């Protein structure tokens, strides 16, 4: 695997880290790979390290090319700067798809908290829509995200028939992004017939990332199943995107896929 670090916007300190796995050769059944773009949370004031590399690991293990976008935050976060950063990251991935061995129609996005808001914006509002979006304890309601970034759009009201399929997870008692965020998002997706899967775990803290003890504070009160979203999201992505190796399923199961 090789790692590349790109500066997308020096003035706003926007960067893209690329983890590129080999194809062919010792991987004869894999001419290209699907990709996932990670958008860490942090209330649009910073990008969380706990929601960056620890999240990248299971997707790399599953065979994805993985990218981490550190988008505009703090004084630079005024909307639409973060969405513009996302657009630039997607355009960069697609422009380098040959060198990075990426299926351009199989690029998903995953975001957490404020990054979940940005992933929701990518799903509903972007020009370069992902093929699928994973939203972790996302702050998608206007009244909720406006506490972090007043100019940020309400995502459920932006959902329409062109929104990509979404996988959503949270804890019922999240005291930072109330569970109503994901309920409203799911309701909006259902209203337009967009494929989605939602997991609301019994209890857990906001910002629990993968749920692994390595990313949690000691004595964290968290549901034993809260970390299952990782495995479930990988299975869901296979349903949405199809397989990516020769001899595997190459067509998505889900009929509502961008680029169908």
Q: Is residue 224 part of a domain?
A: yes
Q: Is residue 260 part of a domain?
A: no
Q: Is residue 249 part of a domain?
A: no
CA distances from 224 to 103, 104, 236 (A): 35, 36, 20
Q: Is residue 139 part of a domain?
A: yes
Looking at the structure of the chain, the number of domains it has is 1
- Residue 128's pLDDT is what? 98
Q: Is residue 35 part of a domain?
A: yes
What distance in Å separates the CA atoms of residue 239 and residue 231, rounded to the nearest whole number?
13
Q: Is residue 247 part of a domain?
A: no
Q: Is residue 259 part of a domain?
A: no
pTM for this structure? 0.94
Which CATH number characterizes residue 150's domain?
A: 3.40.50.1820
Q: What is the pLDDT along the chain (260 residues), one digit of tens a residue?
A: 999 999 999 999 999 999 999 999 999 999 999 999 999 999 999 999 999 999 999 999 999 999 999 999 999 999 999 999 999 999 999 999 999 999 999 999 999 999 999 999 999 999 999 999 999 999 999 888 998 899 999 999 999 999 999 999 999 999 999 999 999 999 999 999 999 999 999 999 999 999 999 999 999 999 999 999 999 999 999 999 987 665 554 455 554 444 33
Segments forming the whole domain that contains residue 115:
2-241
- Residue 44's pLDDT is what? 97
């Amino acid at each position: 695997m090789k790692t590349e670090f790109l500066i997308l916007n020096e003035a706003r300190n926007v960067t893209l880290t690329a983890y590129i796995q080999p194809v062919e050769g010792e991987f004869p059944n894999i001419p290209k790979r699907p990709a996932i773009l990670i958008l860490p949370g942090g209330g649009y004031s910073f990008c969380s390290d706990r929601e960056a590399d620890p999240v990248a690991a299971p997707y790399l293990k599953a065979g994805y090319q993985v990218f981490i976008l550190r988008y505009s935050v703090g004084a630079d976060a005024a909307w639409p700067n973060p969405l513009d950063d996302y657009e630039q990251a997607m355009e960069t991935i697609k422009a380098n798809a040959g060198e990075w061995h990426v299926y351009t129609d199989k690029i998903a996005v995953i975001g957490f908290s404020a990054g979940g808001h940005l992933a929701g914006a990518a799903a509903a509002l972007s020009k370069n829509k992902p093929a699928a979006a994973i939203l972790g304890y996302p702050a998608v309601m206007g009244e909720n995200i406006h506490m972090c970034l007043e100019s940020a759009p309400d995502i459920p009201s932006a959902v329409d028939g062109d929104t990509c399929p979404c996988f959503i997870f949270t804890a019922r008692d999240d005291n930072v992004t109330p569970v109503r965020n994901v309920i409203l998002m799911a309701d909006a997706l259902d209203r337009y017939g967009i494929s989605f899967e939602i997991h609301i775990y019994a209890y857990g803290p906001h910002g629990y990332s993968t749920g692994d003890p390595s990313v949690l504070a000691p004595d964290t009160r968290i549901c034993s199943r809260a970390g299952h979203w990782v495995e479930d999201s990988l299975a869901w992505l296979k349903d949405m995107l199809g397989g990516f190796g020769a001899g595997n399923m190459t067509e998505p199961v889900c009929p509502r896929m961008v680029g169908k």
